[in-house]
Protein backbone atom coordinates (compact mmCIF):
# COMPACT_ATOMS: atom_id res chain seq x y z
CA UNK A 1 0.00 0.00 0.00
CA UNK A 2 2.68 2.38 1.02
CA UNK A 3 4.62 1.85 -2.21
CA UNK A 4 1.56 2.73 -4.24
CA UNK A 5 1.16 5.89 -2.23
CA UNK A 6 4.80 6.82 -2.65
CA UNK A 7 4.64 6.33 -6.38
CA UNK A 8 1.61 8.60 -6.62
CA UNK A 9 3.23 11.21 -4.39
CA UNK A 10 6.26 11.16 -6.72
CA UNK A 11 4.03 11.72 -9.72
CA UNK A 12 2.23 14.57 -8.05
CA UNK A 13 5.53 16.22 -7.20
CA UNK A 14 6.39 16.30 -10.89
CA UNK A 15 2.94 17.65 -11.74
CA UNK A 16 3.14 20.39 -9.13
CA UNK A 17 6.56 21.42 -10.35
CA UNK A 18 5.40 21.55 -13.96
CA UNK A 19 2.31 23.54 -12.97
CA UNK A 20 4.41 26.07 -11.05
CA UNK A 21 6.83 26.33 -13.95
CA UNK A 22 4.03 26.88 -16.47
CA UNK A 23 2.47 29.52 -14.30
CA UNK A 24 5.76 31.36 -13.92
CA UNK A 25 6.57 31.06 -17.62
CA UNK A 26 3.12 32.31 -18.49
CA UNK A 27 4.08 35.89 -17.69
CA UNK A 28 6.92 35.94 -20.23
CA UNK A 29 4.84 36.01 -23.43
CA UNK A 30 2.68 38.71 -21.89
CA UNK A 31 5.71 40.75 -20.94
CA UNK A 32 7.19 40.32 -24.39
CA UNK A 33 3.95 41.47 -26.02
CA UNK A 34 3.84 44.43 -23.66
CA UNK A 35 7.38 45.46 -24.63
CA UNK A 36 6.57 45.08 -28.30
CA UNK A 37 3.57 47.35 -27.88
CA UNK A 38 5.69 49.92 -26.07
CA UNK A 39 8.26 49.88 -28.84
CA UNK A 40 5.57 50.18 -31.50
CA UNK A 41 4.06 53.21 -29.77
CA UNK A 42 7.44 54.90 -29.53
CA UNK A 43 8.08 54.18 -33.21
CA UNK A 44 4.72 55.66 -34.25
CA UNK A 45 5.48 58.79 -32.25
CA UNK A 46 8.77 59.22 -34.11
CA UNK A 47 7.12 58.58 -37.45
CA UNK A 48 4.55 61.26 -36.70
CA UNK A 49 7.37 63.70 -35.94
CA UNK A 50 9.17 62.79 -39.15
CA UNK A 51 5.97 63.31 -41.14
CA UNK A 52 5.62 66.73 -39.56
CA UNK A 53 9.16 67.67 -40.62
CA UNK A 54 8.50 66.44 -44.16
CA UNK A 55 5.36 68.53 -44.23
CA UNK A 56 7.20 71.69 -43.20
CA UNK A 57 9.90 70.94 -45.78
CA UNK A 58 7.26 70.73 -48.49
CA UNK A 59 5.73 74.02 -47.39
CA UNK A 60 9.14 75.67 -47.43
CA UNK A 61 9.93 74.41 -50.93
CA UNK A 62 6.57 75.63 -52.15
CA UNK A 63 7.17 79.03 -50.63
CA UNK A 64 10.62 79.28 -52.20
CA UNK A 65 9.14 78.36 -55.54
CA UNK A 66 6.46 81.03 -55.15
CA UNK A 67 9.07 83.64 -54.31
CA UNK A 68 11.14 82.72 -57.39
CA UNK A 69 8.03 82.89 -59.58
CA UNK A 70 7.06 86.28 -58.20
CA UNK A 71 10.56 87.64 -58.73
CA UNK A 72 10.59 86.44 -62.32
CA UNK A 73 7.25 88.07 -62.86
CA UNK A 74 8.51 91.39 -61.45
CA UNK A 75 11.58 91.20 -63.68
CA UNK A 76 9.45 90.64 -66.76
CA UNK A 77 7.09 93.44 -65.82
CA UNK A 78 9.93 95.81 -65.15
CA UNK A 79 11.32 95.10 -68.61
CA UNK A 80 7.91 95.74 -70.07
CA UNK A 81 7.54 98.95 -68.08
CA UNK A 82 10.22 100.65 -70.21
CA UNK A 83 8.22 99.95 -73.32
CA UNK A 84 5.04 101.54 -72.04
CA UNK A 85 3.99 104.61 -74.03
CA UNK A 86 0.78 105.62 -72.34
CA UNK A 87 1.03 107.05 -68.86
CA UNK A 88 -2.11 105.25 -67.79
CA UNK A 89 -0.74 101.85 -68.76
CA UNK A 90 2.61 102.71 -67.27
CA UNK A 91 1.22 103.60 -63.88
CA UNK A 92 -1.10 100.56 -63.90
CA UNK A 93 1.86 98.27 -64.49
CA UNK A 94 3.96 100.13 -61.94
CA UNK A 95 1.23 99.55 -59.38
CA UNK A 96 1.15 95.82 -60.22
CA UNK A 97 4.91 95.66 -59.76
CA UNK A 98 4.60 97.39 -56.44
CA UNK A 99 1.96 94.92 -55.24
CA UNK A 100 4.06 91.96 -56.40
CA UNK A 101 7.12 93.30 -54.60
CA UNK A 102 5.17 93.71 -51.38
CA UNK A 103 3.83 90.19 -51.68
CA UNK A 104 7.37 89.02 -52.14
CA UNK A 105 8.47 90.78 -48.97
CA UNK A 106 5.65 89.10 -47.03
CA UNK A 107 6.65 85.72 -48.42
CA UNK A 108 10.26 86.39 -47.53
CA UNK A 109 9.18 86.99 -43.94
CA UNK A 110 7.18 83.80 -44.02
CA UNK A 111 10.21 81.97 -45.34
CA UNK A 112 12.29 83.16 -42.38
CA UNK A 113 9.58 81.93 -40.01
CA UNK A 114 9.17 78.57 -41.67
CA UNK A 115 12.92 78.04 -41.74
CA UNK A 116 12.99 78.62 -38.01
CA UNK A 117 10.08 76.23 -37.45
CA UNK A 118 11.78 73.64 -39.59
CA UNK A 119 14.99 73.92 -37.62
CA UNK A 120 13.15 73.44 -34.34
CA UNK A 121 11.20 70.48 -35.69
CA UNK A 122 14.37 68.85 -37.01
CA UNK A 123 16.08 69.27 -33.66
CA UNK A 124 13.08 67.73 -31.92
CA UNK A 125 13.14 64.72 -34.23
CA UNK A 126 16.85 64.26 -33.71
CA UNK A 127 16.37 64.28 -29.94
CA UNK A 128 13.53 61.84 -30.13
CA UNK A 129 15.44 59.54 -32.43
CA UNK A 130 18.35 59.37 -30.02
CA UNK A 131 15.92 58.66 -27.22
CA UNK A 132 14.14 56.05 -29.30
CA UNK A 133 17.25 54.16 -30.33
CA UNK A 134 18.40 53.98 -26.71
CA UNK A 135 14.95 52.77 -25.74
CA UNK A 136 14.89 50.30 -28.58
CA UNK A 137 18.22 48.87 -27.54
CA UNK A 138 17.21 48.40 -23.95
CA UNK A 139 13.86 46.89 -24.91
CA UNK A 140 15.52 44.54 -27.38
CA UNK A 141 17.90 43.40 -24.66
CA UNK A 142 15.04 42.85 -22.29
CA UNK A 143 13.11 40.89 -24.92
CA UNK A 144 16.06 38.66 -25.67
CA UNK A 145 16.32 37.97 -21.96
CA UNK A 146 12.64 37.11 -21.70
CA UNK A 147 12.73 34.89 -24.76
CA UNK A 148 15.68 33.00 -23.31
CA UNK A 149 13.82 32.55 -20.03
CA UNK A 150 10.77 31.36 -21.88
CA UNK A 151 12.78 28.85 -23.90
CA UNK A 152 14.43 27.61 -20.72
CA UNK A 153 11.09 27.18 -18.95
CA UNK A 154 9.74 25.33 -21.97
CA UNK A 155 12.66 22.95 -22.01
CA UNK A 156 12.24 22.37 -18.28
CA UNK A 157 8.57 21.58 -18.77
CA UNK A 158 9.50 19.17 -21.53
CA UNK A 159 11.99 17.50 -19.26
CA UNK A 160 9.34 17.21 -16.55
CA UNK A 161 6.97 15.66 -19.04
CA UNK A 162 9.55 12.98 -19.62
CA UNK A 163 9.87 12.46 -15.89
CA UNK A 164 6.11 12.34 -15.59
CA UNK A 165 5.83 9.46 -18.02
CA UNK A 166 8.28 7.49 -15.93
CA UNK A 167 6.59 8.39 -12.65
CA UNK A 168 3.08 7.62 -13.81
CA UNK A 169 4.13 4.20 -15.10
CA UNK A 170 4.92 3.26 -11.53
CA UNK A 171 1.49 4.25 -10.18
CA UNK A 172 -1.24 1.67 -9.69
CA UNK A 173 -3.65 1.90 -12.64
CA UNK A 174 -6.86 2.40 -10.65
CA UNK A 175 -5.26 4.97 -8.42
CA UNK A 176 -3.77 6.74 -11.43
CA UNK A 177 -7.16 6.99 -13.13
CA UNK A 178 -8.69 8.54 -10.03
CA UNK A 179 -5.76 10.89 -9.64
CA UNK A 180 -5.96 12.06 -13.27
CA UNK A 181 -9.66 12.79 -12.92
CA UNK A 182 -9.19 14.88 -9.79
CA UNK A 183 -6.01 16.55 -11.05
CA UNK A 184 -7.89 18.18 -13.90
CA UNK A 185 -10.11 19.97 -11.39
CA UNK A 186 -7.75 20.53 -8.51
CA UNK A 187 -4.08 20.29 -7.79
CA UNK A 188 -2.89 18.88 -5.41
CA UNK A 189 -5.19 15.94 -5.95
CA UNK A 190 -3.38 13.87 -3.38
CA UNK A 191 -3.35 15.40 0.11
CA UNK A 192 -2.34 14.30 3.56
CA UNK A 193 -4.58 13.98 6.57
CA UNK A 194 -2.80 15.44 9.56
CA UNK A 195 -2.89 14.77 13.24
CA UNK A 196 -6.44 15.20 14.45
CA UNK A 197 -7.78 13.90 11.15
CA UNK A 198 -7.86 17.15 9.22
CA UNK A 199 -7.77 16.89 5.43
CA UNK A 200 -5.07 19.21 4.09
CA UNK A 201 -7.03 19.75 0.92
CA UNK A 202 -10.25 21.13 2.36
CA UNK A 203 -9.39 21.52 6.07
CA UNK A 204 -12.39 19.43 7.07
CA UNK A 205 -12.03 16.57 9.49
CA UNK A 206 -12.43 13.13 8.02
CA UNK A 207 -14.44 10.64 10.08
CA UNK A 208 -12.27 9.18 12.89
CA UNK A 209 -12.77 5.67 11.64
CA UNK A 210 -11.46 6.61 8.20
CA UNK A 211 -8.51 8.41 9.71
CA UNK A 212 -7.62 5.37 11.84
CA UNK A 213 -7.91 3.15 8.84
CA UNK A 214 -5.53 5.39 6.85
CA UNK A 215 -2.99 5.28 9.65
CA UNK A 216 -3.13 1.53 9.84
CA UNK A 217 -3.08 0.77 6.15
CA UNK A 218 -0.64 3.55 5.16
CA UNK A 219 -2.60 3.51 1.94
CA UNK A 220 -5.05 5.89 0.32
CA UNK A 221 -8.74 6.68 0.41
CA UNK A 222 -11.00 9.51 -0.70
CA UNK A 223 -11.89 12.59 1.37
CA UNK A 224 -15.67 12.62 1.85
CA UNK A 225 -15.68 16.43 1.77
CA UNK A 226 -13.45 17.36 -1.17
CA UNK A 227 -13.07 14.03 -2.98
CA UNK A 228 -9.30 14.33 -3.12
CA UNK A 229 -7.19 11.25 -2.60
CA UNK A 230 -6.07 11.25 1.03
CA UNK A 231 -3.45 9.48 3.09
CA UNK A 232 -2.24 9.75 6.66
CA UNK A 233 0.76 12.11 6.71
CA UNK A 234 2.84 9.66 8.72
CA UNK A 235 2.65 7.25 5.80
CA UNK A 236 5.06 9.45 3.83
CA UNK A 237 7.11 10.62 6.79
CA UNK A 238 10.75 9.53 6.64
CA UNK A 239 12.36 7.54 8.09
CA UNK A 240 9.77 4.91 8.42
CA UNK A 241 9.39 1.95 10.68
CA UNK A 242 7.34 -0.03 8.17
CA distances from 227 to 121, 211, 241 (A): 70, 15, 29
Number of residues that bind Zn ion (CB under 5 A): 6
Rank residues 146 and 229 by Cβ distance to Zn ion and give the closer one.
Answer: 229
Asked whether position 223 contacts Zn ion by CB under 5 A, the answer is yes
Q: Would you say 188 and 12 are in contact if contact means Cβ atoms under 8 Å apart?
A: yes
The 10 Å CB-count burial string (b at 16+, else e) for 46-73 is beebeeebeebeeebeebeeebeebeee
CB of 18 to Zn ion, least distance (A): 23
Residues whose CB falls within 8 Å of the CB of residue 19, separated by 6 or more in sequence, listed in order: 187
Asked whether position 235 contacts Zn ion by CB under 5 A, the answer is no
Rank residues 74 and 197 by Cβ distance to Zn ion and give the closer one.
Answer: 197
Q: Rounded to whole angstroms, how far apart are CA atoms 79 and 186?
A: 98
For the chain, give the number of residues: 242
CB of 181 to Zn ion, least distance (A): 15
Asked whether position 226 contacts Zn ion by CB under 5 A, the answer is yes
CB of 212 to Zn ion, least distance (A): 17
Binding test (CB under 5 A) with Zn ion, winner from 225, 233, 234, 236: 225
Asked whether position 222 contacts Zn ion by CB under 5 A, the answer is no
Q: Rounded to whole angstroms, how far apart are CA atoms 42 and 176?
A: 53
Q: Radius of gyration of the chain from Cα atoms?
A: 41
Which candidate, 56, 9, 51, places its Cα nearest to that of 238? Answer: 9
CB of 199 to Zn ion, least distance (A): 3
CB of 235 to Zn ion, least distance (A): 16
Rank residues 42 and 222 by Cβ distance to Zn ion and give the closer one.
Answer: 222
Report 50-89 residues binding Zn ion (CB under 5 A).
none
Report 188-217 residues binding Zn ion (CB under 5 A).
199, 201-202
Rank residues 114 and 232 by Cβ distance to Zn ion and give the closer one.
Answer: 232
Which of the stretches 25-33, 98-106, 128-136, 226-234 binds Zn ion when contact is defined by CB under 5 A?
226-234
**What three-state secondary structure class fits 190?**
strand
DSSP character at residue 125: H
Rank residues 125 and 187 by Cβ distance to Zn ion and give the closer one.
Answer: 187
For residues 8 to 37, the per-residue mask of contacts with Zn ion, x marking binding by CB under 5 A and - elsewhere, is ------------------------------
Residue 232 pairs in a beta bridge with 193
Q: Which residues bind Zn ion (CB under 5 A)?
A: 199, 201-202, 223, 225-226
Amino acid sequence: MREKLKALAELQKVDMEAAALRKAADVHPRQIAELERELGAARSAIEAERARVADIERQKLQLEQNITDEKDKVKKWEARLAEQRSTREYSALAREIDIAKKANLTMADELVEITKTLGTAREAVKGKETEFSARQQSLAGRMTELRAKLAEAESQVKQLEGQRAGASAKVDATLLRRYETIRKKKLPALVGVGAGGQCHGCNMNVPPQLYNQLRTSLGTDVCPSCNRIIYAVEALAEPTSK
